[in-house]
Amino acid sequence: MADSIEVRCINKTDRTDPHERISHIGGTNPNGAAWRLTEADAIAGIESDKWAFSVDRPKGDRVAVIVASRLGRKYLKTTADGDQPNNLLFLPECP
């Protein structure tokens, strides 16, 4: 069973395509230490069932982070929840 981890920040590339914007995701461990993973490592962790990421934005509206594919390129996104703007892309930048 995958560990459930809340994503609280991201780092973006300079690309304008939303499917190619995220380079890293991050958050805070229960002990208060910051963590950050590359998009590729996060995708591998999701696909191997090592991790299950989620976004709690707006507060109390938790949605899963999933792997999607466009033109053969895998990327991260949240499950469709009807909220605009995109929950993941509008998280703050990770330090």
CB 58 within 8 A of CB 38: no
Q: Is residue 30 part of a domain?
A: yes
* CB-CB neighbours of 10 under 10 Å: 23
Q: Indicate whether 72 belongs to any domain.
A: yes
Q: Is there a domain that residue 83 lies in?
A: no
Is 94 within the bounds of a domain?
A: no
Give domain status of residue 84, yes or no: no
User: Which two three-digit tokens encode residue 86?
Assistant: 């995109």
Residue 65 lies in a domain: yes
d(C-alpha 12, C-alpha 4), whole Å: 23
User: In tens digits, what is the pLDDT along the chain, a chain of 95 residues?
Assistant: 566 799 999 999 988 776 678 999 999 988 999 999 999 999 999 999 999 999 986 667 788 999 999 888 999 998 875 555 567 888 999 99
Q: How many domains does the chain divide into?
A: 1
User: Which range marks the domain in which residue 11 is found?
Assistant: 3-78
Residue 48: inside a domain: yes
Asked if the structure places residue 15 within a domain, the reply is yes
Distance between CA atoms of residues 91 and 26, nearest Å: 10
Q: What is the pLDDT of residue 2?
A: 67
Q: Read off the pTM.
A: 0.86
